[in-house]
Structure 1
């Protein structure tokens, strides 16, 4: 059995079929899409209609935001007085789009305005005292922060006391003490009456622009969409309308810089969706801030010069490639640290490096969490620096901010939230940090074996999947935080045409077979499962999303697999007559039925590979789980069956290597046995080392049969074997050949080899699966 990576969670409440039908009819949706709505709580026609509605009425009044009127009044006064204004942004995708929205709005109103995007390495995140001082010295009268500022007490208070007004527009968590700003425009301001709390930084800047321009500035919707998707804020309420409208605007290609970026991404001429933003556009804008200067991204978004836009877009794309290579290189070093015996024994990881690029450490930490399931902090510094700087990422079960916040004086700088933190810490304090994080994991009873839940929207038969269903599901988008793409459990009759795809064969492609149709299916990074799908094609369930795929002007449904289960134990037939080192490269428990076979291949086994040599007398006392490989062929089919009945592998691979083939050689005939006996009676001493070939030729018998009969005669005390010499014993006690243990063993070997070596592959797999199922069936009874 192949277990799922996730814990599949169906909707908690039973789906009311009458509600589904009512919503499907009222909203002109398929019942599949209506079922998703009901399962997500939109269980009346009014709720479903409100959710699906896409019109400007969804946009809330910007003046409901706290201090919006104060902010507008101060900005308008600054414009009238020709005061110097600076927009202070941030260096991620939300930050640069926020900066662009605010800067272009003020430009349009004729303001004396410039923008500033901090450098991640020089200025850090948020308000920076040194930069504020420089703005004051340069005569800036008004600063407007976008996507930052709510936690900038010290520099903002300094600015205000030195004659520079500051308007904060932000959406991040609010601290207990707020800065002394002229205005704080924030959707979660305590006591605020704004009806939606989860705007992005770009969304807040858009609201300020709307208030200043006294209309909804549709030309900024593309930027709002990028910031909203890139910052992973909720895709519900007005954000759904803003993102939907922004994606449409982006597809129309009205912004020169975005057009150039889409072109280098290979997305020009396509209808842009939220996945294009999340996986292609936003990462490139983020990359500039991670390893360069994010001001370049604002320059791209604001330019009207096509040649300049093309040049910047190409450079941003090259920076993104550099970012990916940096992540790959650092991850390779970091995972080696994570796998040391010391770290392997821990529930958490603190990984340190020298000279690692600090702009990508958060991504590396995320990948380590993905790989290990452990909350992880990745830190780096130059060899001569006293402090390490880096990022941490966590799992849902451990609040990383709370875990580390109890010892604030341990850090030079520290901040973050439940799932992510950033920190600077003295190298001398790293061991204390490790102990603190590990203690927090213990105190929270962090279980690394706990499977991550995966919310599933319903079960589908293959024949329910259609282009109409997929189109209807798209009406529920755009998908993202709080509105994930619907996931379905699909139980096909079987899977067919399974094959590995991709340059490195790391992906799977196969078809889900229903009663009336077959659906193409892709499973990324699951290429290693090919043998399992081939072994049990009719015992597979998948969870995945439904998409349409167009190839050669033909559009068909397609399933993108998130997870899968094989609810029978896959038996993989790799029977062989030759053992090589390649056969022992996969992680598994390798089982040997003969000590001699184990000794022969022991040099092939890596140190971390588990191997078991079964006790021929007590084989049933060894219980194996996980991926199990049977290397050689057992001697007794009955003993093997008894042992197999007790095993609980996830997968079973069989090589069944056999050096001496009893089945092909068979048993000697009565005539052959008598002829050999008579020969040794007439030749009292034979030296097998030198005379064996001659004896074989003389008796016209296969050498393997001759050697077998000599062993039988020895056990029955017809002959004696010493240092390769066979001596006939005069007047031996009479015995039947079947009384010899070797004779009985050979009969068992013939029966076993016939079953295990020469049965058809399908027959062998079914028989083994039946034996493996016996134990579970017995428990159920």
Structure 2
């Protein structure tokens, strides 16, 4: 069994209400789409129509935002007086697009304007006092912050002392006390009354640009869309307009840097979606700030020089590939550490290393959380400064900020929120930090937390996945926070062509089949599940979004898998006559029925593996595990039943290795016993210890069969064998061959091999399942 990561809340939109059917008829949309809109709060014809047809008329008056007029007046005054204005941005994609929007707007007015992007590793996030002092010393008379500023009390106070005004434009959480700025433009200002508080930093900058220009700057919509999607703000209300219309502008943009960047990322402008931004453009802009200086990202967005645009596009691609490699390398080490003996039993993880690039540790932490399902902090340890700096990511229901907030004595710096934190810990306090993390997991009842919930539109079968349905669902796009792409649950009759794909087999691909029709499905990052699904094609349930795949001019329907469950125990039939090192790379419990086989392989097992060698009379404790590997073939079915009677596994991998098959060899024939009996009656003191092969050749009996026959004769007292010397017993008692213990043992082994090694896969699965059914 593999449990789903989420609790699927099926809404059955394929059974629309009367209200949904009426709305669908009026709006000329599928009733399912109308039901989805109603479920999301758009329960009138007007609100549905507004949602389905985003346009500029839906944008709110920028002057309704707090301090907008004050901020605009101060900026216009600076322009008129030729004051030097510096846009103070941020190093992520939202920050650099915000900077570009404000810079281009002021540049249109002929302002004496420049921009400054703080360096993550030197200046940190937000207003930095030393950076402000340098800017003012360089002649800046007005600083306009974008995507930051509401927490910059000290730096803004210092700017005031030096006679430089600061206009703050921001969208982040407001502190109890706001800085003493010339204006604080914020959509959720406590003294404001702006109708939509979910703008990104780029969205706020776009509203300031609108106020300055006294019209909507449609040429800046592409930048606003990038910042909005990149910052994961709600894609509803104004943001839906910015992204919808911004994608259209982006598809035909003449920004040389973006044109080069999209080409380098393989983005087809005619197929542009919010995912093109989220997975193609934004990560490349973010890569610059994660690794070094993000200022080139602003230049990339604003340059008019084709050659420079090409250079900057190549730089972002190079940095992005470097970031990807860093993430891959550190994640591999971090995941190995997460599963070692020192970490695997902790409910929450503190993962540490040296010479790790701190700019990517948040991504690494996310990957560990995704794989391990545990809250995780990943830190780079610097022995010289005795500090460990990095980031943490949480799971649903666990407040990561609260877990560490009461232990600031263990840290040099700390900040964040429930889902993510950044910290610089004392390197000699990491054990105490792990203890605090474990205690928080217990206090917050981490192991008792229910699964996170996912709303599921409806249950579907593969034959219902069609282009018309996809096109109707696209009426709800662009998707994002608060407007998620609809998900559908599938319980397919079977899966076909299950395989791991990609250079390292990282991704999972298969076909979902129902009612004689199949549709492709892909699950990124889940290639390791391929053997599981291939072994249980009729036990799989999945959650997926309906998508299309365009390749070489051909368009095919495709399911993008978001969650997978496998019902019942999974049995992977990997029976083999040869054992390879790759078969022992996975964590789990490995069962051996032969001590010699275990001794040969023990050094090949991963450090996180548990080994059990089954011996006669051995007690096996009751236990529940994830994966059980049956390495070699037992001598009897009873031995296997004894193991499965005490170990409950979600997944069984059956190798059942056997060096020599007794089933194929069979039992000796009666004529062979007679031939051997005649021989021993007429030969004394035969040295079978040294001359077994010679004797087997003389009698024309297989050597291993001859060994068994001699054991049987010895047990029945037909012969004696001492020190390798075979001597017949005169007038032995008349006994049946079948009564000998060795004969019965061999018969049992042959029957065991018949059932375990030479049965059909379905029969083997049924047999192993039956051994666990009564637990």
For the 8 Å contact 1:625–1:647, the answer to whether it is kept is yes
Q: Shift in Å at residue 154 of structure 1?
A: 1.6
Alpha-carbon distance in structure 1 between the residues aligned to 2:769 and 2:578: 30
Which residue of structure 1 aligns with residue 18 of structure 2? 18
- After TM superposition, the structure 1 stretch with the greater mean CA deviation from structure 2, 548-557 or 769-778, is 769-778
Alpha-carbon distance in structure 2 between the residues aligned to 1:45 and 1:512: 37
For the 8 Å contact 2:386–2:426, the answer to whether it is kept is yes
Q: Shift in Å at residue 100 of structure 1?
A: 1.4
**SS of equivalent to 1:628:** strand
| Superimposed CA distance per residue, residues 150-177 of structure 1 (whole angstroms, 9 cap, x where no aligned partner) | 0111221232344322211100111111
Structure 1 position 460 matched with structure 2 position 460: yes
For the 8 Å contact 1:574–1:654, the answer to whether it is kept is yes
Alpha-carbon distance in structure 2 between the residues aligned to 1:604 and 1:83: 71
Structure 1 position 745 matched with structure 2 position 745: yes
Alpha-carbon distance in structure 1 between the residues aligned to 2:353 and 2:630: 42
| Superimposed CA distance per residue, residues 83-103 of structure 1 (whole angstroms, 9 cap, x where no aligned partner) | 332222112111111111112
Alpha-carbon distance in structure 2 between the residues aligned to 1:758 and 1:407: 60
Which residue of structure 2 aligns with residue 172 of structure 1? 172
Which residue of structure 1 aligns with residue 61 of structure 2? 61
Structure 1 position 567 matched with structure 2 position 567: yes
Structure 1 pair 55/442, CA: closer, same or farther in 2 (3 Å)? same
Structure 1 position 765 matched with structure 2 position 761: yes
Structure 1 pair 345/772, CA: closer, same or farther in 2 (3 Å)? closer
Q: Shift in Å at residue 221 of structure 1?
A: 0.7
| Superimposed CA distance per residue, residues 108-150 of structure 1 (whole angstroms, 9 cap, x where no aligned partner) | 2333322222222332211121232334444533222111110
For the 8 Å contact 1:260–1:306, the answer to whether it is kept is no
Structure 1 pair 377/744, CA: closer, same or farther in 2 (3 Å)? closer
- After TM superposition, the structure 1 stretch with the greater mean CA deviation from structure 2, 197-206 or 644-653, is 644-653
For the 8 Å contact 1:101–1:205, the answer to whether it is kept is yes
Which residue of structure 1 aligns with residue 754 of structure 2? 754
Alpha-carbon distance in structure 1 between the residues aligned to 2:620 and 2:430: 49
Q: Shift in Å at residue 69 of structure 1?
A: 1.9
Which residue of structure 2 aligns with residue 283 of structure 1? 283
Which residue of structure 1 aligns with residue 406 of structure 2? 406
| Superimposed CA distance per residue, residues 599-638 of structure 1 (whole angstroms, 9 cap, x where no aligned partner) | 4544544554333233455799776743223333334446
Structure 1 pair 698/448, CA: closer, same or farther in 2 (3 Å)? same
- After TM superposition, the structure 1 stretch with the greater mean CA deviation from structure 2, 644-653 or 516-525, is 644-653
For the 8 Å contact 1:499–1:510, the answer to whether it is kept is yes
Structure 1 pair 743/123, CA: closer, same or farther in 2 (3 Å)? closer
**SS of equivalent to 1:463:** helix
Structure 1 pair 607/726, CA: closer, same or farther in 2 (3 Å)? farther
Q: Shift in Å at residue 455 of structure 1?
A: 3.9
Q: What is the TM-score of this pair, normalised by structure 2?
A: 0.91
Alignment of 1:715-730 (within 5 A): 715-730=715-730
Q: Shift in Å at residue 647 of structure 1?
A: 5.7
RMSD, matched Cα: 3.1
Structure 1 position 702 matched with structure 2 position 698: no
Alignment of 1:131-170 (within 5 A): 131-170=131-170
Q: How many residues align?
A: 775
| Superimposed CA distance per residue, residues 493-517 of structure 1 (whole angstroms, 9 cap, x where no aligned partner) | 2112233332233333221112142
Q: Shift in Å at residue 694 of structure 1?
A: 4.3
Alpha-carbon distance in structure 1 between the residues aligned to 2:174 and 2:379: 27
- After TM superposition, the structure 1 stretch with the greater mean CA deviation from structure 2, 489-498 or 371-380, is 371-380
Which residue of structure 1 aligns with residue 443 of structure 2? 443
| Superimposed CA distance per residue, residues 530-583 of structure 1 (whole angstroms, 9 cap, x where no aligned partner) | 333333323322222211112332212111222323324343333333444444
Q: Shift in Å at residue 311 of structure 1?
A: 1.8
| Superimposed CA distance per residue, residues 372-430 of structure 1 (whole angstroms, 9 cap, x where no aligned partner) | 33433344475543655433333333323333333556655433222223344555565
Which residue of structure 2 aligns with residue 421 of structure 1? 421
Alpha-carbon distance in structure 2 between the residues aligned to 1:640 and 1:428: 49
For the 8 Å contact 1:187–1:196, the answer to whether it is kept is yes
**SS of equivalent to 2:271:** coil
Q: Shift in Å at residue 24 of structure 1?
A: 3.6
Alpha-carbon distance in structure 2 between the residues aligned to 1:74 and 1:296: 28
For the 8 Å contact 1:88–1:145, the answer to whether it is kept is yes
Which residue of structure 2 aligns with residue 90 of structure 1? 90
For the 8 Å contact 2:592–2:632, the answer to whether it is kept is yes
Structure 1 position 125 matched with structure 2 position 157: no
Alpha-carbon distance in structure 1 between the residues aligned to 2:395 and 2:422: 16
Q: Shift in Å at residue 16 of structure 1?
A: 4.8
| Superimposed CA distance per residue, residues 309-362 of structure 1 (whole angstroms, 9 cap, x where no aligned partner) | 122222222222233333344445545554554444433344455454333333
For the 8 Å contact 2:381–2:427, the answer to whether it is kept is no
For the 8 Å contact 1:646–1:772, the answer to whether it is kept is no
Structure 1 pair 448/493, CA: closer, same or farther in 2 (3 Å)? same
Structure 1 pair 551/434, CA: closer, same or farther in 2 (3 Å)? closer
For the 8 Å contact 1:146–1:170, the answer to whether it is kept is yes
Structure 1 pair 261/778, CA: closer, same or farther in 2 (3 Å)? same
Alignment of 1:426-505 (within 5 A): 427=427, 433-447=433-447, 452-505=452-505
For the 8 Å contact 1:720–1:729, the answer to whether it is kept is yes
Q: Which runs of 5+ in 1 are unaligned?
A: none
For the 8 Å contact 2:648–2:772, the answer to whether it is kept is no
Which residue of structure 1 aligns with residue 513 of structure 2? 513
Structure 1 pair 660/325, CA: closer, same or farther in 2 (3 Å)? closer
Alpha-carbon distance in structure 2 between the residues aligned to 1:152 and 1:334: 35
Alpha-carbon distance in structure 2 between the residues aligned to 1:341 and 1:688: 50
For the 8 Å contact 2:494–2:513, the answer to whether it is kept is yes
Structure 1 pair 82/668, CA: closer, same or farther in 2 (3 Å)? closer
Which residue of structure 2 aligns with residue 652 of structure 1? 652
Which residue of structure 1 aligns with residue 366 of structure 2? 366
Structure 1 pair 8/772, CA: closer, same or farther in 2 (3 Å)? farther
**SS of equivalent to 1:519:** strand
Alpha-carbon distance in structure 2 between the residues aligned to 1:668 and 1:410: 74
Structure 1 pair 712/619, CA: closer, same or farther in 2 (3 Å)? farther
For the 8 Å contact 1:374–1:448, the answer to whether it is kept is no
Structure 1 pair 501/732, CA: closer, same or farther in 2 (3 Å)? same
Alpha-carbon distance in structure 2 between the residues aligned to 1:396 and 1:314: 38
| Superimposed CA distance per residue, residues 458-514 of structure 1 (whole angstroms, 9 cap, x where no aligned partner) | 211111100111111122121222222222211222112233332233333221112
Which residue of structure 1 aligns with residue 235 of structure 2? 235
Q: What is the TM-score of this pair, normalised by structure 1?
A: 0.91
Alpha-carbon distance in structure 1 between the residues aligned to 2:215 and 2:259: 25
Which residue of structure 2 aligns with residue 322 of structure 1? 322
Alpha-carbon distance in structure 2 between the residues aligned to 1:423 and 1:193: 35
- After TM superposition, the structure 1 stretch with the greater mean CA deviation from structure 2, 212-221 or 703-712, is 703-712
For the 8 Å contact 1:614–1:622, the answer to whether it is kept is no
For the 8 Å contact 1:462–1:491, the answer to whether it is kept is no
**SS of equivalent to 1:475:** helix
Which residue of structure 1 aligns with residue 735 of structure 2? 735
